[in-house]
Amino acid sequence: MSKVKFTYYPGCSSMESGKHLDMSVRAISGRLDIELETIDDWNCCGASVAHVKCGPLATSALSGRNLAKARQQGTADVISPCAACYLNTHGVNESIRDNPKTREEINEALSVAGLSYEGDLHVRHVCEVLVNHVGNERIKHEVTNPLNGLKVAGWVGCQTVRPFAGTERGGNFDTYHDPKFLDNFHEACGAEVLPFEPKTACCGGSVSVYSPDKTLGLMAKILQAAEDVKADVISTPCPLCQVNVEMYQDRINKEFGTNFNIPVVFYSQIMAVAFGMDVKEAALDKHMITPTKLIEKVKK
């Protein structure tokens, strides 16, 4: 397979709390003949709270600028590893493409910076590209260090699949309530896939960031389910899921009298280890809760 170039939108979490997602995605991409060219001087997508203060158009303008910048770099598909970045960028792209009124308004705003964008790009999630473009056979082919015996609870979360995974432009790559792609990734890596009932449960998203008191219970349920199936790690594609469930475990233990200490990693880190990469390449040193069992599997 020859290399295919994608325009890459890492998103803000890639710089701090979710840098291990960015690092591991970049690491596996190289092995899967995916060339990532980052959007030059990208900005924030607005995440899930921007609209509240400034309304829908100003929020859409954020993605509008990113898309305009991406288009300047060519017509390659734009991909993002972050659920919220994908959701916003894909959504805005679709409405610029399908809704002439939105297109006109956003372009009016972009014009003050000398930019424009007509909606002719395709915005995709990294996972969708792995499913539809790369395929599991190819992933399996790259595995040099099968993770036999590693018990993985695959936790997809919300926005990676909802609301676009079942749409044509979203790549129709899986279902909303029982997605299989994540388990398939882990299986391809030789890991033991655990039945994980809350696989599309919500961690509380950004509400967990500013009002965790309301959502600790949601996260506790997810952790409990992982403990019930004796997971070595929880694996997720979403940077906000990862950080929420990792950083709040102490507080959850305090509130609910539990004793959770379950590492939460990204599927891309699991893939990196299976592809034979080391702790640094797989960014396994970036965890608040060390994924010991996964690190043990790293090829010496």
Partner 1 sequence: MTKPLPQTAARKYDLGFAQWVYDNIEGGDRISLCMQCGMCSGSCPIGDQMDNGPRKTFMMIRAGMKEEVLSSSTIWNCTQCYNCTVRCPRQIKVTAVLQSLASVAVAEGYAPQKPTLKFSKAFWRSVSWFGKTDERIVTAIYYFSYGLMEGFRLAMANLPIASRMVKAGRMGLLLPHRTKAAGDLRAIVAEAEKIQNRKRAGS
Give the nearest distance from C-beta 39 to partner 1 in angstroms. 10
Residue closer to partner 1 (CB basis): 17 or 73: 17
Residue closer to partner 1 (CB basis): 101 or 230: 101
Unique residue bearing structure tokens 């916003």? 88
Residue closer to partner 1 (CB basis): 139 or 291: 291
DSSP H helices, the chain, are: 19-31, 50-72, 83-98, 100-110, 126-129, 136-142, 181-188, 205-210, 216-228, 239-247, 249-256, 267-274, 292-297
Decide the pairing of beta strands 151-154 and 233-236.
Answer: parallel
Give the nearest distance from C-beta 230 to partner 1 in angstroms. 24
**Structural contact between residues 162 and 183, judged by C-beta atoms closer than 8 angstroms:** no
Contacting positions for partner 1 (CB under 8 A): 12-13, 15-20, 41-44, 46-58, 60-62, 64-65, 101, 105-106, 108-113, 115, 158-159, 162-163, 166, 176-177, 200-211, 214-215, 218, 243, 247-248, 250, 285-288
Residue closer to partner 1 (CB basis): 154 or 170: 170
b/e 265-283 (16+ beta carbons within 10 angstroms → b) = bbbbbbbbbbbebebebbb
The span from the CA of 65 to the CA of 187, in Å, is: 38
Counting every residue, how long is the chain? 300
Residue closer to partner 1 (CB basis): 193 or 294: 294
The span from the CA of 151 to the CA of 194, in Å, is: 6
Residue closer to partner 1 (CB basis): 82 or 298: 82
b/e 40-62 (16+ beta carbons within 10 angstroms → b) = eebeebbbbebeeeeeeeebbbb
Q: Which amino acid is present at 196? A: F
Give the nearest distance from C-beta 127 to partner 1 in angstroms. 16
Residue closer to partner 1 (CB basis): 81 or 204: 204
Which pair of structure tokens corresponds to residue 14? 């890639």
Which pair of structure tokens corresponds to residue 189? 């890596």
Give the nearest distance from C-beta 135 to partner 1 in angstroms. 25
Give the nearest distance from C-beta 147 to partner 1 in angstroms. 22
Give the nearest distance from C-beta 160 to partner 1 in angstroms. 10
Give the nearest distance from C-beta 146 to partner 1 in angstroms. 27
Residue 291: is the preceding peptide bond cis (ω within 30°)?
A: no
